Amino acid sequence: MEERFIVIYHIIGDKSTALEKAKVICLEQTVEVGDELVLDGFIRDQVIGELEDFFAITNGIYEAHISYAIDTTAYELTQLLNIIFGNTSIKAGIRVHRLNLGAGILSQFSGPRFGIAGLRKIVNVYDKPLLCTALKPMGKSAILLAEFAYQFALNGVDVIKDDHGLTNQPFCPFEERVKACVEAVATANQKTGKHCIYVPNITAPTTDIMGRVYFAKKEGVGGLLIAPGLTGFDTMRSLSENNEINLPLISHPAFLGSMVTNPNNGFSHAALFGQLQRLAGADASIFPNYGGRFGFSKKECQSIAESCKEKMGHYFPMFPTPGGGMSLENIPDMLTLYGNDVIFLIGGALYSRSADLGDNVRYFLSLVGRDTLRDTRQCVST
């Protein structure tokens, strides 16, 4: 047991306080006893966290690089998260800034199964941003949502997902919705020759998830939406690594917000919406865009996008998927920030711009330089 990985924490306090906190993390995240009880040579030398580096990054904030033996994670995502931040999450003034996991950890997981290139191949759109929208509002019947899906697919949306609050409500049962939406999108695709996908929300009770996933797979969905804050990150990981399922996963941030809204606790935006999501197998990570109805800054969004695409072992890059009260007017600025490898998740604005959903979609596509002749490679038999 020699290989180690590093977690970079940002710690609030004066130098001696922050240093003491860093030393306590080394114990708290592993042996959970005071240093005086660490008598065993193996435990002292290998099991406890080790402070590898410690320095000020600004007045009152210190950066601590703490390494842990990879064996302490038991090569389980649940236990890896526990080592990174389990008990320390309960302490004030400590934030996970970044993970440097190394080959020893990264090789134990698969990362995104499709990633940016794989998802582009499925929807057959290259070199331009993808457009995703959500079926809403909750309360509409499966048939009415499928009609929206048809209009969206017919006019060029690439990814049509359930609103993340749609699960299996009596007024819109899961199986009825999946059947209707798959059929609606397939019918539209036949007319357009495009490859729009329908992505149902399979966030569900532990004992129901696999049933819904297999039903959706059998019906022919093009991907799955999951909120790991509700199901646990490892449930997403297990779906990603399941060869029978073999579908792209889009991750939703519901219930995860408390992990980023306090700048002195939780995770950095990049670690939570970039690194952790990718580690757990998301092909696209939804996060609130700057300037929308959530409070993320442009810089925070940029850090997420970079984390989605940066070098991370053998893992495919995943799509940053900003959404959340985005206005169509912001598109030029967003194009500058995110580049082409992005999925724009536009929900309400596609419904509200005008009563003509199709026109709204076409208007959006024009804003990102998309038209069917330019951005879709026609399938040619060779």
Q: Is there binding between residue 134 and its own copies (CB under 8 A)?
A: yes
Q: What three-state secondary structure class fits 59?
A: coil
Residue among 65, 348, 367, 370 that touches its own copies (CB under 8 A) = 348
Question: Between 235 and 376, whose beta carbon lies closer to its own copies?
Answer: 235
* C-alpha dist (Å) from residue 41 to 44, 46, 72: 5, 8, 16
Residue among 20, 32, 329, 333 that touches its own copies (CB under 8 A) = 32
Q: Please, which of residues 350-379 interact with its own copies by CB under 8 A?
A: 351-352
- Residue type for 38, please? V
The rounded distance, in Å, linking the Cα atoms of 382 and 242 is 32
**Which region, judged by CB under 8 A, interacts with its own copies, from 5-13, 54-62, 232-240, 310-318?**
232-240
Q: Is there binding between residue 6 and its own copies (CB under 8 A)?
A: no
Strand residue runs (E) in 108-267: 130-135, 159-162, 197-199, 224-226, 249-251, 265-267
Q: Is there binding between residue 253 and its own copies (CB under 8 A)?
A: yes
Tokens linked to 36: 């005086």
Please, what is the minimum distance in Å from the beta carbon of residue 206 to its own copies?
4
Residues 99-128 as x/- pattern, contact with its own copies by CB under 8 A: ------------------------------
DSSP 346: -
Please, what is the minimum distance in Å from the beta carbon of residue 374 to its own copies?
32
Question: Between 79 and 187, whose beta carbon lies closer to its own copies?
Answer: 79
Please, what is the minimum distance in Å from the beta carbon of residue 118 to its own copies?
23
Closest CA to 123 of 132, 112, 111: 132
**Which region, judged by CB under 8 A, interacts with its own copies, from 113-121, 300-308, 311-319, 348-356?**
348-356
Residue among 63, 162, 234, 375 that touches its own copies (CB under 8 A) = 234
For residues 284 and 319, is the Cβ–Cβ distance under 8 A?
A: yes
Q: Is there binding between residue 268 and its own copies (CB under 8 A)?
A: no
Q: What three-state secondary structure class fits 216?
A: helix
Q: Please, which of residues 49-108 interact with its own copies by CB under 8 A?
A: 71-72, 74, 76-79, 81-83, 85-92
For residues 380 and 373, is the Cβ–Cβ distance under 8 A?
A: no
Using CB under 8 A as the binding criterion, the count of chain residues that bind its own copies stands at 85
Q: Please, which of residues 164-183 interact with its own copies by CB under 8 A?
A: 164-165, 167-171
Q: Is there binding between residue 259 and its own copies (CB under 8 A)?
A: yes
Q: What three-state secondary structure class fits 320?
A: strand
265 DSSP β-pair partners: 94
- At residue 262's C-alpha, the angle toward residues 258 and 267, to 5°, is 70
Closest CA to 158 of 299, 321, 32: 321
